């Protein structure tokens, strides 16, 4: 999550949706924001305290965290945005990310299909680094009553165009988006990773995302 008091925006960062590139592109705005420096000190104090003073909005916090913590009028005045991704494609991206950077979390399941079945098994013990991509994307966009409270939902599938729209709303010239954390060993077509059975597993688990965000297995 990225909060800018000067430019009055709140970026809700859903994992594996291009958010690292968006954060990197907007990073320079921090140095122009006089609020950044006290926010940085609060963040460091929070880190040193083991985050027991709740002075920081975590990187992948849901929008409801900001709504509950920030003053109501201030929260309502912010331009709140997020990016989402086709759930089937997101699971392929998550698999490659874990295999590349945290292979110990594969649980001994080296192929995508075996890993996905294990990952979506409701009996599997919870592990945070796996379950960030199990959480519904729409959970990041809604408040406690289930109402979508972000103002703009961009799509990974048209990242550059939607990021330009975000920058226009913020009132800045759109900087170039860097290509962050791209997997070099994955196939371009996510559908090639799936059997009918595993595609249906994702369809069931992410049914609300698919319905609310209007995604399909075949784009």
Measuring CA to CA, which residue among 53, 5, 54, 17 is closest to residue 162? 17
Q: Which fold has domain 2-213?
A: Rossmann fold (3.40.50)
The model's pTM: 0.88
User: Given CA atoms 89, 93, 99, 102 in this order, what sign does their dihedral have?
Assistant: negative
What does 44-104 look like in DSSP terms, one character per residue? HHHHHTTS-S--S--TT--HHHHHHHS-HHHHHHSEEEEEE--HHHHHHHHHHHHHHH-GG
113 touches 200 (CB < 8 A): no
Least confident of 109-113, 122-126, 201-205: 122-126
pLDDT band at 147 (very low <50, low <70, confident <90, very high): very high
Mean pLDDT, the chain, whole residue set: 89
Find the range with the poorest average confidence among 18-27, 88-97, 124-133.
124-133
pLDDT per position as a tens digit, 154-191 = 999 999 999 999 999 999 999 999 876 565 667 789 99
E-strand stretches of 108-155: 152-155
């Amino acid at each position: 999550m990225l909060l800018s008091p000067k430019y009055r925006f709140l970026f809700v960062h859903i994992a594996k949706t291009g958010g690292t590139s968006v954060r990197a592109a907007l990073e320079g705005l921090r140095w122009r924001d006089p609020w950044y420096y006290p926010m940085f000190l609060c963040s460091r104090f929070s880190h040193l305290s083991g985050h027991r003073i709740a002075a920081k909005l975590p990187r992948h916090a849901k929008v409801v965290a900001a709504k509950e913590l920030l003053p109501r009028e201030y929260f309502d005045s912010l331009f709140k945005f997020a990016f989402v991704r086709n759930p089937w494609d997101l699971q392929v991206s998550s698999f490659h990310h874990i295999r590349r950077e945290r292979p110990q979390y594969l649980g001994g399941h080296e192929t995508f299909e075996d890993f996905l079945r294990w990952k979506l098994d409701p009996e599997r013990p919870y592990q945070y680094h796996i379950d960030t991509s199990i959480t519904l994307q729409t959970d990041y966009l809604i408040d406690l009553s289930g109402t979508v409270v972000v103002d703009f939902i961009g799509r990974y599938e048209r990242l550059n165009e939607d990021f330009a729209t975000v920058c226009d709303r913020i009132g800045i010239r759109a900087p170039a988006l860097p290509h962050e954390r791209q997997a070099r060993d994955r196939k371009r077509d996510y559908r090639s990773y799936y059997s009918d059975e595993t595609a249906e597993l994702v369809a069931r688990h992410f049914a609300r995302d698919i319905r609310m965000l209007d995604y399909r297995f075949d784009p």
